[in-house]
Amino acid sequence: MNLKTENIIPVLIADDHAIFRMGLKQIIESAQGMKVIGEASNGLKAAELVEQLKPKVVVLDVDMPGCNGIEVARILKKKKLPVEIVILTMYSEEDIFNEIIEVGVKGFVLKDNATTEIIYAIKSVSEGKHYITPALSGLLIKSREKTSASNGILQNLTAMERRVLSLIAENKSSKEIADELHISYKTVENHRANICSKLNLHGSNVLLEFALDNKKLILS
């Protein structure tokens, strides 16, 4: 009896739709070796129950009132709680996907595919593995290609140009950059022009958009 209990994966579900939680619970408990030990209808309650009930896996919906799934994941990671996370989302968007990966979440499942994939996702993350719904494999490849391409382009910049770009990524104006680097405003503008030329960027705000989109890479 004890051996069987030890082999069961305790799971917590957090979603603000009661009917969806009910269906998810039935699917999870229909699988051998899994049990739902708690449910939450909002993010703050989910974070609280993870500390209280100590599940091995928590399934979090992205869109929840009070505190969304990504914010809950950040809280759990910050507290270093021994729980693996599966994020459920309706959106197959690159920005959301990248944000979830950056938080350190191992499981990512589209809600439309939850009925067929949630068991595999829970099992995978409980073993320390990643599970990303196959429907999002294209986003993963696109994200990696984009990062690789951006990194290659940045290698063409001089040390000063990269410094200027890093300050642009912090949303600083040319005047603020000039003051911080102790150079003239005109010199900053020249650096901006050279960066745009090397990155093949055209337009008044395109450099700022590029810097903000690639902020993590630029500041690393």
What end-to-end distance do the CA atoms of the chain give, in Å?
51
Distance (Å, rounded) from C-alpha 9 to C-alpha 11?
6
- Give the pLDDT band (50/70/90) at residue 9: very high
Query: Do 65 and 96 form a contact (C-beta atoms < 8 A)?
Result: no
**Could you read off the pLDDT of 103-129 as tens digits, one per residue?**
889 998 988 888 889 999 999 999 999
* Rounded Cα–Cα distance for residues 139 and 94 (Å): 6
CA distances from 62 to 5, 56, 108 (A): 30, 19, 10
Q: Which tens digit of pLDDT belongs to each residue from 136-177?
A: 665 555 555 455 445 556 777 888 988 998 899 898 999 999
